[in-house]
Amino acid sequence: MEEATYRGTVYPWQCDHVGHMNIMWYVGKFDEANWNLFARLGLTPSYLRQSGRGMAGVQQNISYRRELFAGDIVEITSRLLELREKSIRFLHEMRNAETGEIAATCEITAVYLDRQAHKSMPFEDAIRAVAARHLAPEPALA
């Protein structure tokens, strides 16, 4: 299921010397989308704090497709691609909300952590059940 996980705007101070949004801001906006996606999966900030659990990114691949400029409205949609015992893989698409063009995509693999032990651990059944409902359908084979 693909859902909006971030909406915002590009501010002038987020642009580099050639007038495009600097890559550090793409990463920041994708990070904000991460936390909204996690919350939809049941991994809310309060749950993570109270349970002593956490999430850590272990791989992130960003593709830049179109420039964003000061004043552009940005929307990120996200979908869960894979749910494994201790990790998830998901995809963000950042669009210029006015034109609908994809500005960038970001695929991330993140692991579920026991923060006290500092090691990965299996997702609890309740989290797995919520996350499973958000899995994107597999593409049909041609």
- The model's pLDDT over 95-121, given as tens digits with 9 standing for 90+, comes to 999 999 999 999 999 999 999 999 999
| pLDDT at residue 141 in the model | 55
In this prediction, residues 12-35 reach a mean pLDDT of 97
Q: Is the pLDDT of residue 1 over 80?
A: no
Q: Considering the chain, what percentage of its residues have pLDDT values greater than 70?
A: 95
CA dihedral 126, 32, 83, 52 (to 10 degrees): -50
Is 97 within 8 Å of 73 (Cβ atoms)? yes
Domain 3-133 matching CATH 2.130.10.10: the answer reads no
In this prediction, residues 119-128 reach a mean pLDDT of 96
Sketch the domain layout of the chain as residue ranges. Answer: 3-133
Radius of gyration of the chain measured on its C-alpha atoms: 16
Q: Is the pLDDT of residue 122 over 70?
A: yes
